[in-house]
Amino acid sequence: MAIYNALTYEIPDVLVSAVTFGIRVEVPLRNKLYSGIVTRVHQSKPDYRTKRIISVLDKDEIITSAQYELWLWLSSYYCCSLGEVMSVALPSGLKLSSETKLIFNPSGDINEMELSDDEYLVSEALSIQNELTIQLIQDILNKKTVYPVIRSLLEKRVLYIKEELIEKYKPKTIDIITLNKEYDSGQGNIQALDKVRRSELQTRALLAIFDIKRKQPFIKKIDVKNRADVDTQPINVLKNKGIITIEKKEVSRLVEDVDENTKDITLSALQKKSVDHIMAGDDTTDIHLLHGVTGSGKTSIYIELIKNVIATGGQVLYLLPEIALTSQIVQRLEAVFDKELLVYHSRVSNNDRVEIWREVIYKRHLVVGARSSVFLPFYNLKLIIVDEEHDASFKQDNPAPRYNARDTAAYLSRIYGAKVVLGSATPSIESFQNVRQKKYTYTHLAKRYGNINLPTMELVNLGKMLKTGRMTGSFSIILKDAIEDALEAGEQVLLFQNRRGYSPIIKCSLCGWAAECTNCDVSLTYHQHYNEMRCHYCGFKCAKPNKCAACGSDHVMLLGLGTEKIEEEVKELFPKVVVKRFDYDTVNTKRKYQDIIDKFEHKEIDILVGTQMISKGFDFDNISLVGVLNADALLNYPDFRSEERTFQLLTQVSGRAGRRSQQGRVIIQTFNPNHPVFQDVISYDIQRFYARELKNRNQYVYPPFYRLINVWFRHKKMDVLKDAASILYDDLSKKYKSRIGPPHDPPLVRVRGYYQQLIIIKIEKNNVTLRQLKVDLMATRSKVLELKPFRSVRIGIDVDPY
């Protein structure tokens, strides 16, 4: 429970000199012990009885004053407590409470001589029990003050804080073959061939190795497999026979392997102009919007900017959407910045996070990370890049603080005096509006790098295709032919459908009954692979019903289209090609993700079917065709941003086609070919799209003209919920009448077994009113929550919801 704002404790005389800003202290709270951070040392007594600090954990501060300034801003801007901010901002390795579980570090080299008596006792106990709570450690040592011991053991890496140990970021490696010395000459080659002469496969593999060696500085195993058309086995035999050695090498160390241009890029004139424009800056703002079409070389521009900033000793934060992190962008940055680069994301284990936390303060100059990296302790941050700034994953939904890392970057830049570069091929309406109002500068790259054409775009009218019998399953004849053409030319294909599973609806054709989740108001998706029904909100699973649960008939049909079904149809239509699926079900670990990316890169996959995961950060040179199976589904979200999202998503997936040489082609299937959003997408008319969207937003009182605050109420009982919501509503609307909408049902009334109600606040962008409203809102919320019947109601405030 991290719901507190700063609390006041008494400093015992012996600790007076040790207690300073930014260090951790051990304090009692409600009969438990916690580690807390000192934010202020003062003389004013609060109106409650203060308890005493028990011990001091740190000599040096673990947060900087700049970080603390950010925390304060977040808590007031996003209406949450400092405790809530701290809980996401501090790595859990730096947060301790009585219930924290500690485990033995199996790989730790313990030097018993270095341990104090207490440390030794704890490490002994741990090696026997594997897992201890802090409470137990208090018992073992028979004292209350154990945090300093634990801290020291953590630092000596004797123990770990228990946490699911999540995969650590590892640089990508590939297998490299070298010929062993005695076989690495003309004469040696002949001897080697002689050793394998009885096996055709081994001979082929060996010949391929000789051939590649003549042309390339590195012999990649994968290339040998492709060239010789063999699998791994004969290559392994060559190794066992002592002819070759196979080693794993980090891709970034093999400069030749990475795009020749990444290491030493020569910017095009247009790119150079953009860099100069951004570096020169503007008198009025430090925030720059870089709007460059897909493939215009924004990454090259970022790289140049980063080099400039690092050269003057500054630090750079490069924010990416979470899923793009494991991708090629990191590799490209790694190739250039090597040891300067640090990658920080939610998949980094917590122990590593503590390490990174310390390191950022002292060493690295470039941090690449997802949204939570805004909390790192920078000392000289001079540039923040927000790549794909329109991406919704920069906003945290749950729990509080519900912050947007893009907007947080703007505040960070003020604290540090850093530049911000927001980059996207499809900037958010908010950022676009900020440009119009001269709050951001604007740089536009309208052409792809190297003057490569943008893909051609076509809409296919599904209704017409159906009527005229030109559909095979979900594929129109146009899309099907285009796939054939691409495959024939040896090119690769991406197929996009933003729905995982096999089919999202299972319905009775007699009575209309549909299978729904028992905890949520949503239909269950059928997953063929698991042969079960699943809820995508709460994870509920059950068997696929054979009969209608309402009328008992067996006329139950699978409706709607998911990636699994498309994969199946593709396999039927094109039995000879390799098809893979790229969605949350198939790439739930980093290894699987990398595996599919590698295979795709090496052209071992012909067709990749995926959800929006394929739209982020994919840069492949052989995709000539992108197909969207049903674009209408994208527009069906009940949200004022659904058209903006559709425009962005379709433009982004399309941008994966034809990035290097051949003309790319995009085919979008829809029942509404005349829908203005689709028309804007296919004509690349982003200006027309923005103009229309801005008009609508203004008319219907939405951002960027007004600010939104959603107030969510959750409870198991609907009547309790409704009472709580209307009390808050009545109270606030006294003062802010027209701005507050009455409580109502959100699109999903029930999620994970909880009912929900929603109050939407729309308020003009006047900082004074807005700030006051937030203060009043927080106060009213506390008041409601203190009323007895509502103690278990959850009220979540979401400022600038996304």
Residues that bind Zn ion (CB under 5 A): 508, 510-511, 513, 517, 519-520, 535, 537-538, 540, 548, 550-551, 553
The CA-based angle 780-784-787, given to 5 degrees, is 145
Position 619 contacts ligand ADP (CB under 6 A)? yes
Choosing from 291, 298, 371, 480, the residue that interacts with ligand ADP (CB under 6 A) is 298
> Cβ of residue 536: shortest distance to Zn ion, in angstroms?
8
The closest alpha carbon to 714, from 793, 622, 637, belongs to 793
List Cα–Cα distances, 586 to 160, 321, 476, in angstroms: 31, 19, 26
Q: Residue from 36, 292, 504, 703 that binds ligand ADP (CB under 6 A)?
A: 292
- 297 touches ligand ADP by CB under 6 A: yes
Closer residue to Zn ion in complex, CB, 88/520: 520
Q: Quick one: what does residue 520 bind among ligand ADP, Zn ion, none, with the CB cut-off 5 to 8 Å set by partner type?
A: Zn ion
Residue 265, binding choice from Zn ion, ligand ADP, none, Cβ under 5 to 8 Å by partner class: ligand ADP
Nearest by Cα to 509 from 466, 549, 548: 548
Closer residue to ligand ADP (CB): 225 or 659 = 659
Residue of 299, 413, 503, 586 interacting with ligand ADP (CB under 6 A): 299
The DSSP call for residue 366 is E
- The answer to whether the CB of 773 falls within 8 A of the CB of 780 is no
540 binds, among ligand ADP, Zn ion, none (CB under 5 to 8 A by kind): Zn ion
Please state whether beta strands 101-104 and 159-161 pair in parallel, antiparallel, or not at all (unpaired). antiparallel
Minimum separation from the CB atom of position 304 to ligand ADP (A):
9
669 binds, among Zn ion, ligand ADP, none (CB under 5 to 8 A by kind): none
Token reading at 678 = 């689709």
Piece in contact with ligand ADP (CB under 6 A), picked from 4-12, 82-90, 250-258, 289-297: 289-297
| Piece in contact with ligand ADP (CB under 6 A), picked from 143-151, 298-306, 771-779, 780-788 | 298-306
Amino acid letter, 514:
A
State which residue, 276 or 397, has the beta carbon closest to ligand ADP: 276
352 binds, among ligand ADP, Zn ion, none (CB under 5 to 8 A by kind): none
Q: Which residues pair with 757 in a beta bridge?
A: 713
**Cβ closer to Zn ion: 422 or 548?**
548
Q: Smaller CB distance to ligand ADP: residue 90 or 265? A: 265
The residue ranges of DSSP E strands in 716-753, in sequence order, are: 750-751
Q: Toward ligand ADP, which CB reaches closer, 9 or 302?
A: 302
Toward Zn ion, which CB reaches closer, 212 or 535? 535
Note whether 800 and 761 are within 8 A (CB). Answer: no
Which residue in the block uniquely carries the two structure tokens 């053409």? 485
Considering the complex, what minimum distance in angstroms separates the CB of residue 189 from ligand ADP? 36
User: Does 693 participate in binding ligand ADP (rule CB under 6 A)?
Assistant: no
CA separation for the pair 441, 438 (Å, rounded): 7
Other C-beta atoms within 10 Å of 156: how many? 17
User: CB of 626: closest distance to ligand ADP in angstroms?
Assistant: 14
Nearest distance in Å: CB 559, Zn ion:
14
Give the whole-angstrom CA distance, residue 261 versus residue 590. 27
Q: Which two tokens stand for residue 488?
A: 């024939």
Nearest residue (CB) to ligand ADP, 274 versus 441: 274
Among 75, 105, 202, 268, binds ligand ADP (CB under 6 A): 268
Interaction of residue 294 with ligand ADP, rule CB under 6 A: yes
- Residue found under tokens 């505040």: 411
Count residues contacting ligand ADP (CB under 6 A)? 18
Q: Which residue has the tokens 């503007």?
A: 282
Q: How far apart are CA 424 and CA 308, in angstroms?
A: 21
Nearer to ligand ADP, 266 or 398 (CB): 266
**CA-CA distance, 761 to 734, in Å (whole number)?**
14
Smallest separation, CB 268 to ligand ADP (Å):
5
Question: What gap in Å lies between CA 171 and CA 10, rounded to an integer?
Answer: 48
Contact 711, 759 (CB under 8 A): yes
Part in contact with ligand ADP (CB under 6 A); list of ranges 48-56, 184-192, 290-298, 316-324: 290-298
CB of 347 to Zn ion, least distance (A): 25
Report the residue number, 602 or 762, with the smaller CB distance to ligand ADP: 602
- Report the nearest approach of ligand ADP to the CB of residue 699 (Å): 33
State the Cα–Cα distance between residues 798 and 43, nearest whole angstrom. 35
Residue 797's DSSP bridge partners are 711
Binding partner of residue 44 among Zn ion, ligand ADP, none, CB cut-off 5 to 8 Å per kind: none
Q: Which of 269, 311 has the CB closer to ligand ADP?
A: 269
CB 331 within 8 A of CB 252: yes
List the single partner that 508 binds among Zn ion, ligand ADP, none, CB under 5 to 8 Å by kind: Zn ion
Q: Which is nearer to ligand ADP, 82 or 425 (CB)?
A: 425
**Minimum distance between the CB of residue 265 and ligand ADP, rounded to whole angstroms?**
4
- Residue 537 interacting entry, from ligand ADP, Zn ion, none, C-beta within 5 to 8 Å by type: Zn ion
- Token pair of 328 as six digits: 């090629």
The two structure tokens encoding residue 52: 């005493």
Q: What is the nearest approach in angstroms of ligand ADP to the Cβ of residue 394?
A: 17
CA–CA separation, 482 and 474 (whole Å): 14
Q: 66 touches which of Zn ion, ligand ADP, none (CB within 5 to 8 A by kind)?
A: none
Burial 655-669 (b: 16+ CB within 10 A, else e): bbbbbbebebbbbbb
Nearer to Zn ion, 537 or 684 (CB): 537
Residue closer to ligand ADP (CB basis): 296 or 413:
296
107 touches, from ligand ADP, Zn ion, none (C-beta below 5 to 8 Å by class): none
In terms of residues, how long is the chain?
802
Residue 91: C-alpha distances to residues 40, 86, 309, 353 (Å):
21, 9, 27, 6
Is residue 601 near ligand ADP by the rule CB under 6 A? no
Tokens at residue 698, please? Answer: 């203004």
Contact present, 401 and 78 (Cβ < 8 Å): yes
- Among 203, 300, 327, 431, contact with ligand ADP (rule: CB under 6 A): 300
Burial class of residue 445, CB neighbours in 10 A (0-12, 13-18, 19+): buried
Q: Does 615 bind ligand ADP (CB under 6 A)?
A: no
User: Helix, strand, coil: what percent of the chain each, to 5?
Assistant: 40, 20, 40
586 near ligand ADP, judged by CB under 6 A:
no
Q: Tokens in use for 242? A: 């002592």
Rounded CA separation 316/354 (Å): 19
**Residues between 222 and 241 that touch ligand ADP (CB under 6 A):** none
Q: Which does 297 bind (CB under 5 to 8 A by kind): Zn ion, ligand ADP, none?
A: ligand ADP
Going by C-alpha positions, the residue among 165, 197, 195 that lies closest to residue 183 is 195
Q: Token pair 């790439």 is at which residue?
A: 587
Query: Does 662 help bind ligand ADP (rule: CB under 6 A)?
Result: no
What SS3 class is residue 69?
Answer: helix
Would you give the binding string for ligand ADP spanning residues 238-267, x where CB under 6 A is met? Answer: ---------------------x-x---xxx
Decide if residue 271 touches ligand ADP (CB under 6 A): yes
Residue nearest to ligand ADP (CB): 297
Sign of CA dihedral 249, 253, 259, 260: negative
Distances (CA, A) of 669 to 465, 626, 679: 10, 11, 13
**What are the residues whose beta carbons fall under 8 Å from the beta carbon of 687, sequence distance 6 or more?**
none
Q: Which does 296 bind (CB under 5 to 8 A by kind): ligand ADP, Zn ion, none?
A: ligand ADP
Interface residues with ligand ADP (CB under 6 A) are 259, 261, 265-268, 271, 292, 294-300, 449, 619, 659
